[in-house]
Amino acid sequence: MSDEGLTVFNGRYELLRRIARGGMADVYLARDASLDRQVAVKVLFPEFANDPSFVERFRREAKAAANLNHPNIVGIYDWGQEQGTYYIVMEYVVGRSMADVMRSTGRLSPDRAAEIASDVAEALSSAHNAGLVHRDIKLGNIIVSDDGQVKVADFGIATALARRTGDNLTHIGSVMGTATYFSPEQAQGKALDGRSDLYSLGVVLYEMIVGKPPFTADTSTAVAVKHVQERPLAPSLLGVSIVESLEAIILKLLAKNPANRYPKAEDLRADLQRYLAGAHRIPTRTGQSPPVRTSERPATGSQVPPAPVAGRPRTGPVATAPPPSGGPPTGPRAQVPAAPGPGPGPPPQYVPPAYYYEEVHRSDGWKRTVLMFFGLVVLVAALGFLGWIFYDSLGLGDNNGPTEPTTPDGAALIEVPDVSGLSYGEADALLRSAGLEPEPSYQVNTGVPENTVFAQSPPGGQRI
């Protein structure tokens, strides 16, 4: 095992220096004497090497991972044991993990984050098609080489570990570090498929763009509970400048129900490539939920406010659909057609599918309330109202009794009903019965019941 002070495995792999330490192994830079090349050797800790059943599973998983041949996957060359010490020989990548990159540079631009996620998705596609689920997709297992190539490490190892512990959350969390990247089904100890890896990749993508993961807590168990029970805040609500299409991709990846995520990694990569190619690059206003722009009805139970009525333009935020009642995502992406006429039309407008609104607006355990805004009438109506006040103040009107204020076209002004404290449905019905067209905007307010109007503008009693 030793040769002139060097640790040598299998008479071939000369361990030069330790370059990393993880929850289950040390990683060494080594020299493959047979091929005269540098390799990385991962040496398992004794607690794993002394478990025969784990060693057998590790051997099988390492063999399966060694059959993966993809430029975005760290290659596995060999494995073995030396005097009771088990090791795995891997491709040595000159570069840094994304965890190191994030510590030194902070959050990435959305485009760069999407490029990295696209490469990871390509690696996952290759592994999933070969029947391998990674189970530990995280920043620390994504390596970016000095020439910019993205590689995913540790295929097979996490699977062997999970089978050894029976997916025990406390044990896995202590070995892998934290439950920051766990999927909800992984946190619950359920059977996993490739969609679990896609959820973890969604956490990675979120963290690269926002600068922090969607869920944090003091313990791995507390983080895991949040993955199961809480909805992530959309990046745009955290002040991040991000386009709607990329935000929709992230939120789809973070769906609690695996059926609402991408079915395959290649589907995710296709969407990321479309985003990077410039499709649907419509900016999202930070601090607000992205607007609804669709001609199709969303999922059952949702509502979409009608298009603005001619002569009654809206002001304020664009109306947003109430949250769907649940169910699998329906409705494909769509584009608003360009206006007819000569010259190029406006850029395509991305229409987030139904799952987007489920993930953004439906928040289990949150008190979601509604802040109502009303569209004002056209400017000429407002001027007409001011003119009527001036006319009446001069005593030039009919002295036979009070007159009802009207707009210049003779229509009576409308008194805005007071809808504060009403439910969304009650407020919407009351306002429309008064001839007004409401524009709801959703805000979180823990002081009032869910789906309740807590403020309105213009206030109740004002005539418009």
- Going by C-alpha positions, the residue among 198, 200, 145 that lies closest to residue 177 is 200
Q: Which tokens in the block code for residue 452?
A: 């309740």
Q: Are strands 76-82 and 37-44 parallel, antiparallel or unpaired?
A: unpaired
Torsion angle defined by CA atoms of residues 238, 241, 246 and 249, in that order, rounded to the nearest 10 degrees: 0
| Residues paired with residue 3 on neighbouring β-strands, in sequence order | 6
Q: Spell out the SS3 assignment of 120-137.
A: HHHHHHHHHHCCCCCCCC
- In angstroms, the CA 52 to CA 201 distance is 32
Question: For residue 17, which of 25, 8, 9, 27 has the smallest C-alpha distance?
Answer: 27
Amino acid letter for position 50: N
Cα–Cα distance list, 227 to 180, 203, 368, 412 (Å): 9, 10, 19, 54
**Residue where the block lists tokens 């040769």:** 3
Inter-axis angle of helices 169-176 and 157-165, nearest 10: 150
| The pair of three-digit structure tokens given for residue 400, joined into one six-digit string | 């036979």
Phi and psi of 38, rounded to 5°? -85, 140
Q: Would you please indicate which residues are annotated as catalytic (active-site) residues?
A: 136
